[in-house]
């Protein structure tokens, strides 16, 4: 028995589904093969969709409505002594339960006629065929959207690249009315807990740490302010954990194979950018496949990841050196408009170069002079 499809996508997570949707919008036939059934496809995630992710979903025609989640208008950073917050420049983000986001994306894929094979695994046969559920499946293009541990990436030899850090994430939902319109990031020494409002009566909390042996039972241990807030809030989901790797690959294509989403490398989850860049990569890849040429995808992929990876390095530096983290939050708390500008850079609304030109020398000097930072920042 045999069958064929133009594009075979291994992995039906957000990146695989976005790729399939983008391909169908170009009129290209595609099939998704995912090892897991949708009902079991929950994943440790902060569940925050930044404005750019929402914009990409809109372009793909995925309907995430206001009743699907909880809007947030910005970000707040806090440690035990200081805090600073800022609004997004022009639009809101939304916290959406991961399972519901997946459902909305599946609905759209189904509407566009994507063939989806859940609970199935593919076994590579040749460069243009795979055995899927005992059926030889022929394809022109193969897309690896099979997450951080991608077997397609390893199989075709695209593993070469840089691994910047390896951390662990633990997720938990609490039944409580959100107390803030922001995603809150609580900074401890070498770990962060961040809170995304996802419904009128629910928040999602993620602990990200370098310590594999972190106290998984009490992810709030190092965060007294947060622990106090959630003291009486019932835990409403089973805790989920995930390893997370900050990785950049040298190449994301080889022959007729292309990687997308976490399979193609990812910034640290603290950036909150994983979904947004997966959707942008999916759109770029579909465009290249439609043009019968994967070559431009390398450049497009690098450009989509450039800003999130730079922000990832800065945030990881704050994680690695607690003193830097404390200076930075204190400095930003004394001049919240700087935080607002950094947030605009993070979202791609403001350019890094323009910011560096305007604020860089003085800000760098202040950060390198921690004792006087509070006073002298007045003059930035």
As a whole number of angstroms, the distance between CA 115 and CA 136 comes to: 15
Q: In the bound complex, what is the minimum distance in angstroms from residue 59's beta carbon to ligand FAD? A: 16
Q: In the bound complex, what is the minimum distance in angstroms from residue 358's beta carbon to ligand FAD? A: 29
As a whole number of angstroms, the distance between CA 294 and CA 106 comes to: 26
| Cβ distance to ligand FAD smaller for residue 214 or 338 | 214
| Cβ distance to ligand FAD smaller for residue 130 or 331 | 130
Q: In the bound complex, what is the minimum distance in angstroms from residue 312's beta carbon to ligand FAD? A: 11
Please count the CA atoms within 13 angstroms of the CA of 255 that sit on its side-chain side. 16
Strand partners for 72: 93
| Cβ distance to ligand FAD smaller for residue 50 or 328 | 50
As a whole number of angstroms, the distance between CA 222 and CA 187 comes to: 9
Q: In the bound complex, what is the minimum distance in angstroms from residue 379's beta carbon to ligand FAD? A: 36
* Phi, psi of 363, rounded to the nearest 5 degrees: -65, -45
Most distant CA atoms of the chain, gap in Å:
75
Q: In the bound complex, what is the minimum distance in angstroms from residue 91's beta carbon to ligand FAD? A: 15
Strand partners for 136: 2, 131
| Cβ distance to ligand FAD smaller for residue 34 or 191 | 34
C-alpha gyration radius of the chain? 21
**Count of positions (residues) in the chain:** 380
| Cβ distance to ligand FAD smaller for residue 242 or 352 | 242
What residues line the site for ligand FAD (CB under 6 A)? 10-16, 33-36, 41, 43-48, 53, 121, 145-147, 151, 169, 206, 242, 244, 261-263, 266, 269, 272-276, 278
The SS3 assignment for 297 reads helix
């Amino acid at each position: 028995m045999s069958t064929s499809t133009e594009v075979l996508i291994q992995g039906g997570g957000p990146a695989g589904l976005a790729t399939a949707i983008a391909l169908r919008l170009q009129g290209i036939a595609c099939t998704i093969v995912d090892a897991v059934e949708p009902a079991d496809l929950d994943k440790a995630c902060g569940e925050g969709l930044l404005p750019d992710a929402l914009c990409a979903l809109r372009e793909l025609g995925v309907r995430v409505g206001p009743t699907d989640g909880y809007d947030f208008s910005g970000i707040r950073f806090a440690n035990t002594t200081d805090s600073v917050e800022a609004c997004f420049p022009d639009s809101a983000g939304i916290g959406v339960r991961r399972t519901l986001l997946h459902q909305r994306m599946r609905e759209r894929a189904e509407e566009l006629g994507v063939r989806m094979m859940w609970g199935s695994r593919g076994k590579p046969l040749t460069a243009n065929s795979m055995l899927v559920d005992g059926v030889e499946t022929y394809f022109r293009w193969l897309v690896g959207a099979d997450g951080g541990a991608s077997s397609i990436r390893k199989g075709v030899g695209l593993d070469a690249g840089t691994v910047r850090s390896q951390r662990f994430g633990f997720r938990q939902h609490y039944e409580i009315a959100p107390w803030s319109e922001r995603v809150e990031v609580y900074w401890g020494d070498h770990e962060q807990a961040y809170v995304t409002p996802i419904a009128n009566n629910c928040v999602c909390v993620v602990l990200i740490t370098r310590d594999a042996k972190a106290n998984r039972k009490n992810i709030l241990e190092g965060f007294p302010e947060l622990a106090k807030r959630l003291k009486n809030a019932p835990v409403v989901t089973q805790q989920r954990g995930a390893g997370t790797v900050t990785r950049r690959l040298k190449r994301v294509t080889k022959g007729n194979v292309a990687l997308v989403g976490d399979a193609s490398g990812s910034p640290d989850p603290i950036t909150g950018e994983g979904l947004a860049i997966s959707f942008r990569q999916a759109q770029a890849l579909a465009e290249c496949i439609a043009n019968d040429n994967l070559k431009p995808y390398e450049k497009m992929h690098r450009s989509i990841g450039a800003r999130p990876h730079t922000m990832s390095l800065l945030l990881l530096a704050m994680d690695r050196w607690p003193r830097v983290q404390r200076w930075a939050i204190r400095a930003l708390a004394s001049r919240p408009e700087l935080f607002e500008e950094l947030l605009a850079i993070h979202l791609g609304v403001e350019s890094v170069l323009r910011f560096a030109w305007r604020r860089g020398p003085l800000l760098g000097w202040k950060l390198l002079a921690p004792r006087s930072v509070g006073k002298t920042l007045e003059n930035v």
